[in-house]
Structure 1
């Protein structure tokens, strides 16, 4: 949705598909090595404020992507010029984690589900998750950015859409099918295994949510000179 706000899909926009079901969500996060000197988000931001070049942030996406936007918004709230950030774009999240483990970057921006396997081995420390409230279960030990003084939420919705010419009858069949799926224990188990979190929204409410999110992303992109 963020890329759509920047016109990278050509003439196609969020209005050229029919949004049918959101089935889960992930959340943005920022993490460091387990032995990094930054014990919390403020410590990392303080280092960036003192010398933006001292903190190299890696991510599996280019400038203007969701991963870049998260840290750019964090920097802006802290009074740091995002253009002065040292940001390294990798081919994917796995490469950015490898760079962090090798101490080639000091922090990574990504999605929470990407780094859950590393938490149990104590190789990495998540400084903040960009969720409205703390995550459930054992993950609740990780603080949100909001409670650390940074008004930043970044949900990453996983879902499905249909083509613009699908019939109303077929659209309703898919909506009803997803409504049933989202309530099944088998689906919930699969969602949990993939380290995703509950976010159930189908039909018109989802369409309204997506379009509102895109409008917000477009405003954010414009603020950083990434969209017209």
Structure 2
């Protein structure tokens, strides 16, 4: 109710726009595609949109969340562009890892210019996580063990070698003077599977996200060795950053949505205006914080420029690590 009251002005704005001749096209069948299995960051991103848009009264019809795993976003990206390019009600979740995969050619023939970037609604940060009963009490302990025997310490994360999660651990290893090529790494389809593997003892460390850690740390089953941010983050104030521990690694992960390349401009503008209003709401700040995300608001042209800049940066990083760009 609070969110509906706060956002009552949105209805007034819509009516004023209609009076001015601006076309708005609220989708009849809203859908958010999470490009992985349930339980990870993409799922979290879609459910944030679902809660914000429905509780804010922006959507008459309920928004469904569907799952399209494969290639850490590649299957969804290719499907939307090739087979569902004009679906007005479909938004697709992205993360900073999507930019990295675009940079190294993992999305096939399509690049960052083949979709319409809609809105970034929050940010997350990388985190190095172990089980609560792990012998590694600090990031230095983990790095020292990896340096002593790179094949003995098994790292797991959502994505193959060259993915965002792999880059987190590789960057930390490189900072510590460890040859990242000798690291033992197990890839999973999404962060949910990777966390399950960690809790099951199948991997010794998980290079994931701070939001994943925040969601599990209360249960006493994990320990976060480091957050890959410039400063300590809310909810994990007792966890030192990698920078504090002498490893200069900052990995910020933007989260948001894109739509298909042939979505009509009137429909795209409806989504833009809706997200601009939603992001200005203090109630949305609360919903975002509940999901372990931090403010990071960009829409439309500003987001498109940010994406292009990030993909360029990742292409340079990929070249440094010898990853193949297409």
Q: Name the TM-score, length of structure 2 as normaliser.
A: 0.65
Cα distance, 1:12 vs. partner? Answer: 1.2
Distance 2:218 2:274 in 1: 36
Distance 1:109 1:153 in 2: 13
**Kept after mapping to 1: 8 A contact 2:122/2:295:** yes
Cα distance, 1:171 vs. partner? Answer: 4.3
Distance 1:66 1:175 in 2: 27
Matches within 5 A, 1:14-163: 14-136=112-234, 138-163=235-260
Root-mean-square deviation (CA), in Å?
Answer: 1.9
Cα distance, 1:67 vs. partner? Answer: 0.8
Count of residues in Structure 1 that have an aligned counterpart in Structure 2: 227
Cα distance, 1:103 vs. partner? Answer: 2.6
Cα distance, 1:57 vs. partner? Answer: 0.7
Distance 1:20 1:77 in 2: 35
Larger RCO (CA within 8 A; separation ≥ 6): 1
Cα distance, 1:170 vs. partner? Answer: 4.9
**Kept after mapping to 2: 8 A contact 1:32/1:127:** yes
Q: Which runs of 5+ in 2 are unaligned?
A: 1-98
Q: Which string of whole-angstrom CA distances, capped at 9 and with x for unpartnered residues, describes residues 168-191 of structure 1?
A: 555444333221110123322321
**Kept after mapping to 2: 8 A contact 1:5/1:227:** no
Cα distance, 1:22 vs. partner? Answer: 0.7
Cα distance, 1:81 vs. partner? Answer: 1.4
Distance 2:168 2:200 in 1: 23
Q: Which runs of 5+ in 1 are unaligned?
A: none
Distance 2:201 2:147 in 1: 21
**Kept after mapping to 1: 8 A contact 2:214/2:236:** no
Q: Which string of whole-angstrom CA distances, capped at 9 and with x for unpartnered residues, describes residues 22-59 of structure 1?
A: 11112111111112222211221111112212211111
Tell me the SS of whatever aligns to 2:211.
Answer: helix
